[in-house]
Amino acid sequence: MPPRAAALRRLLPTHLHHPAARPAPRRPPPPPQPADEGPLPDPYALLVHDPIDLLSSLWRRAFAHPLASPFPNLSGYASRLDLWLLSYQRACAHATGTFPPRHAVPLPTLHCLLRLRAAALRRHPAFPWGASTHLLLRSPADPPSTVPISRRKLEARFADAPPPFQDRVVQELLLLLLEPVFEPRFSPKSHAFRPGRGPHSAIRSVRSRFAAYLWFVSADLTAVVDGLSPETILSSVQKAVSDRKVLSLLKSALNAPVRPGSVPPPEKDLDGLANKRLKRKVLRKSRKKKVLNENEPKPDPYWLRLFFGFAPEQACHVPNYGHCGIISPLLANVCLNELDWWMEEKINEYFCPSKHDSIWKEAGDEGCHNSAWPEFVPSAGKEKTRKMDFLRFGSHVLIGIRGPREDAVEIRRQLMEFCERTFGLRPENSMVEIEHITRGIEFLDHVITRRVIYPTLRYTASGGNIVSEKGVGTLLSVTASLQRCIRHFRKLELVKGDRDPEPLPCSPMLYSGQAHTNSQMNKFLETMADWYRYADNRKKIVGFCAYVIRSSLAKLYAARYRLKSRAKVYKIASRDLSRPLRESTRNDAPEYSDLLRMGLVDVIEGVQFARISSIPSCDYTPFPRNWVPHHELLLQEYIKLQDPKFFCELHKTIKRQEISSPQDDVSKMVWYYKVHGVYDDKRSLMKAKELRNGEVVNGDKQLLLDT
pLDDT (average), residues 352-377: 58
pTM: 0.81
Answer whether 581's CB lies under 8 Å from 572's CB: yes
Higher pLDDT, 642 or 28: 642
According to the model, what pLDDT value does residue 586 have?
Answer: 54
Q: Which of 1-10, 23-32, 413-422 has the highest mean pLDDT?
A: 413-422
377 — phi, psi (to 5°)?
A: -130, 115
Segment among 99-103, 211-215, 290-294 with least mean pLDDT? 290-294
Kindly write down the DSSP assignment for every residue of 338-382, as one continuous string.
HHHHHHHHHHHHH-B--TT-SS--STT---SS-TTSTTEEE---S
Residue 35 scores a pLDDT above 50:
no
Segment among 394-403, 509-518, 602-611, 673-682 with least mean pLDDT? 673-682
According to the model, what pLDDT value does residue 202 have?
Answer: 95
Segment among 29-43, 110-124, 173-187 with least mean pLDDT? 29-43
How many Å is the Cα radius of gyration of the chain?
34
According to the model, what pLDDT value does residue 704 have?
Answer: 35
Residue 337 scores a pLDDT above 70:
yes
| Local confidence band at 520 (pLDDT 50, 70, 90 cut-offs) | very high
> Mean pLDDT across the chain, nearest whole number?
81
Q: Tell me, what DSSP letter sits at residue 26?
A: P
> Is residue 696 exposed (0-12), middle (13-18) or buried (19+ Cβ within 10 Å)?
middle
According to the model, what pLDDT value does residue 595 have?
Answer: 60
Answer whether 369's CB lies under 8 Å from 457's CB: no
For 639-695, how does the pLDDT look when each residue is reduced to its tens digit (9 = 90+)? 888 888 887 887 777 777 666 667 777 787 787 777 766 655 554 545 555 545 554
Answer whether 322's CB lies under 8 Å from 253's CB: yes
List CB contacts of 449: < 8 A, sequence separation 6 or more. Answer: 437, 438, 439, 440, 441, 477, 479
Residue 371 scores a pLDDT above 60:
no
Residue 706 scores a pLDDT above 70:
no
Segment among 18-27, 117-126, 298-307 with least mean pLDDT? 18-27
Cβ-based neighbour number of residue 100 at 10 Å: 16
- Residue 587 CA to chain centroid, in angstroms? 54
For 535-556, how does the pLDDT look when each residue is reduced to its tens digit (9 = 90+)? 999 999 999 999 999 999 999 9
Segment among 227-241, 271-285, 298-312 with least mean pLDDT? 271-285
Higher pLDDT, 664 or 508: 508
* Cross-strand partners of 71: 241
| Local confidence band at 457 (pLDDT 50, 70, 90 cut-offs) | confident
187-190, long-range: CB < 8 A, 24+ apart: 187/337, 187/340, 187/341, 187/344, 187/392, 188/626, 188/627, 188/628, 189/340, 189/343, 189/344, 189/390, 189/391, 189/392, 190/333, 190/336, 190/337, 190/340, 190/392, 190/393
What is the C-alpha separation between 432 and 597, in angstroms, rounded?
A: 63
What is the C-alpha separation between 58 and 46, in angstroms, rounded?
A: 19
For 64-94, how does the pLDDT look when each residue is reduced to its tens digit (9 = 90+)? 887 767 888 898 999 999 999 999 999 999 9
pLDDT above 70 coverage of the chain, percent: 77
| Local confidence band at 295 (pLDDT 50, 70, 90 cut-offs) | low
Residue 335 scores a pLDDT above 90:
yes
* Cross-strand partners of 495: 503
Is the bond into 125 cis (omega within 30 degrees of 0)?
yes
Q: Which of 45-49, 595-599, 694-698 has the highest mean pLDDT?
A: 45-49
| Local confidence band at 339 (pLDDT 50, 70, 90 cut-offs) | very high
According to the model, what pLDDT value does residue 212 have?
Answer: 79
> How long is the chain?
707
According to the model, what pLDDT value does residue 456 have?
Answer: 78
Residue 413 scores a pLDDT above 90:
yes
| Local confidence band at 23 (pLDDT 50, 70, 90 cut-offs) | very low
pLDDT (average), residues 361-369: 51
According to the model, what pLDDT value does residue 126 have?
Answer: 85
Q: Tell me, what DSSP letter sits at residue 496?
A: E
Cβ-based neighbour number of residue 285 at 10 Å: 9
| Local confidence band at 13 (pLDDT 50, 70, 90 cut-offs) | very low
According to the model, what pLDDT value does residue 465 have?
Answer: 81
Segment among 27-36, 305-314, 545-554 with least mean pLDDT? 27-36
Residue 454 scores a pLDDT above 90:
no
For 223-273, how does the pLDDT look when each residue is reduced to its tens digit (9 = 90+)? 999 999 999 999 999 999 999 999 999 999 999 888 765 555 555 544 555
Residue 26 scores a pLDDT above 50:
no
What is the C-alpha separation between 404 and 406, in angstroms, rounded?
A: 5
